[in-house]
Every structure is written in C-alpha cells, then in structure tokens.
Amino acid sequence: MKVYSNIEEFEPVENLVATVGTFDGVHLGHSYILDRLKTEAEKRNGASVLLTFYPHPRMVLFPDNNDLKMLNTQEEKVDLLAKSKLDHLIIHPFSREFSRLNSVEFVRDVLVNQLGVSKLIIGYDHHFGRNREGTFGDLLELANLYGFEVEQIEAQEFKDTQVSSTKIRSAIDEGDMKMARHFLGYPFLLSGKVVRGAGIGRTLGFKTANIEIKDRFKIIPPNGVYAVHVKIKEEAYIGMLNIGIRPSIKDKGGITIEVHIFGLDEELYGIELSVGLIEKIREEQKFENIDLLKQQLEFDKAKCEAILF
C-alpha cells in the first residue's frame, strides 16, 4: 500500500476505484467497503484508493470540543488499512479552507480532476461537501454529469445491530471488549511507547510495562483489569492489563496503563508495543494490604490464562 500525505502527491491512474471517509476503527462495515473496492478494482484492471483526512474534521471545525474520542491513532489506522491490501491511501490535511468546498467543488475538483475516479464506492450514511450538504442523490447526479459510477453499500449488521464507530465507542466506554471486538473484527488496540514507572509491579512479582498514549483523542477503556494480547515488533504474547489509579498503592499518582506480559522479563523501556484488549475481567479495587493484592493478581493471571489459551 502506498501512502500519500496529501492529494497533490497522488498521480491519477486508469480505472481508479475510490472511497472516501474517516474510517475510524477500520471496523467490519469498513472492511466490507474495502473488499468491494478491491474486487471492483481487480475487475476493471485498475487500482483502489481511500481518501481520508487528518486531523479529523471535527478537530478543525470544533477545536474546543474535547469530547471527540477516536478508536485508532493515525499509526494504528494506517497499519490496519495496510492489512486490507488497499493499493493507495491518501491522508489529506483537513483545513478550514478545505471544509469550505461545496459538494459540486468537492466532486469536480477533488474526485474527478485530482483523483480521476472511475467508480466511487461509499457507505450508507455518506455526506460530502461544505456542512455535509451533499446527499447520495446529489452524488448520483454529479456522477452522471462527470462520467463516473457510484455504488452505495448498505449498513453491515452484527446480531441485528448496525455496525458503526459510535456503537463501538459505546461498547468500549462500558468496558464491553467482547462486543467491541465483534464489531471491529479484531481486538481493540492500545499502542504506545513503554516509559518508566514507579517499579511497583516488580516488588509484587508482577513486573509491568507502563504504556504512554500520546494521542489525547484516543479513547481509553474504563478502569479495570483486562485479559490482553501483546505485540512487540513481530513477537506475540499474552498478559493482563491494568487501567486505573492503583488505589492500593501509596503515592500512586494519576491514571496509568500498565501491562504484565506473561513469561517475559526483559527491559522494554523505549520500545513501541501494541496491546489488544480481549476481555475485562474485573473492576479496579482497593485491597487492605499488599498480600491480598498479590493474591488477587495471582487469581487475575489464572483467569486471563483461561481466557487467552
């Protein structure tokens, strides 16, 4: 997959099949669109392209709104899209100037003149242009005018529930990692660099790697203990993750995200790792003494192993 940091870097190719959107989460609904994109591109002996934007439009248009939380960091999204075997990914800078393009200008100037689109495949709720004014009906008229095809993909469902990024965020907010995983098609990810912590886990016999999440818009699940998969470079491990304030520890500081990786004792400071959350096993709780905390950690490990093996 070739990645471009703006539309101007991309040179149009024949029989280009495109889709447009934020694709936050790259969930099952997105995967269906990407599969159709690849199939149609192969049928036409052409290429597939996703045009997405960064920052997220809401970050630019409503900079004081801190409620926006994303399922993926930019790096996570690029990695997930690469696995889809997409041919081209364009991450165009979203600006107030770009947001002022009306629906006709967006189709004519961006999709037709800059991308050279042959067919556009979009999701069921797609809107485009200034203030999201463009509808599917508008898109059909413009496609006829400018000589390209349009296909709209219906909403994908799981257990009679439409898959959407909003519903996945709700599942994560509730700590329902099973539901989030089913909607996403993969475990929800927390990725970041390992930073130095207080070293308390080592004294308990459960050495942990403290993960720094730099993206302030990344959604973080509620406090608690989770059974997890861990990926370090190309190596896979299992473990348990704690999110919270560590109420049983004095001088605990703020919220931390720390993972104990089963069977791994090497130093990981400065290394990037990715944690896939499989299931929440319990809420964070305060213990009367360290011995009770150690005993609970042993129970937690056994429960995680039963889930993950």
Three-state DSSP at 110 gives helix
CA distance 165 to 217: 14
| pLDDT of 203 | 77
Query: Helices H, strands E: what count in the chain?
Result: 10, 14
Q: Is CATH 1.10.8.60 correct for 187-308?
A: no
| pLDDT of 273 | 96
In 3D space, the residue among 25, 95, 14 whose CA is nearest the CA of residue 53 turns out to be 95
Query: Among positive and negative, which fits the CA dihedral 223, 224, 228, 232?
Result: positive
Pairing, β 16-20 against β 157-158 = unpaired
In 3D space, the residue among 6, 1, 20 whose CA is nearest the CA of residue 120 turns out to be 20
Helix (H) or strand (E) holding 28: helix 28-43
CA 103-109-113 angle, 5° bins:
140
What are the phi and psi torsion angles at 24 (to 5°)? -65, 125
| pLDDT of 187 | 98
Confidence (pTM): 0.91
16-20, strands of its sheet edge to edge: 2-4, 88-93, 47-54, 16-20, 117-123, 149-153
CA 214-219-220 angle, 5° bins:
85
| pLDDT of 159 | 63
CA distance 160 to 242: 32
Break the chain into its structural domains and give their ranges: 2-161, 187-308
CA distance 3 to 186: 23
| pLDDT of 250 | 63
Q: Where are the beta strands (DSSP E) in 64-162?
A: 88-93, 117-123, 149-153, 157-158, 161-162
212 strand-pairing partners: 193
First to last CA, the chain: 33
Q: How far is CA 5 from the centre of its chain?
A: 18
DSSP 286-308: --SSHHHHHHHHHHHHHHHHHHH
Q: Which fold has domain 2-161?
A: Rossmann fold (3.40.50)
Average pLDDT per run of 10 along the chain, which is 309 residues long? 96 96 94 96 97 92 85 96 96 95 96 97 89 92 97 77 90 97 97 87 86 94 98 96 84 82 93 97 92 95 97
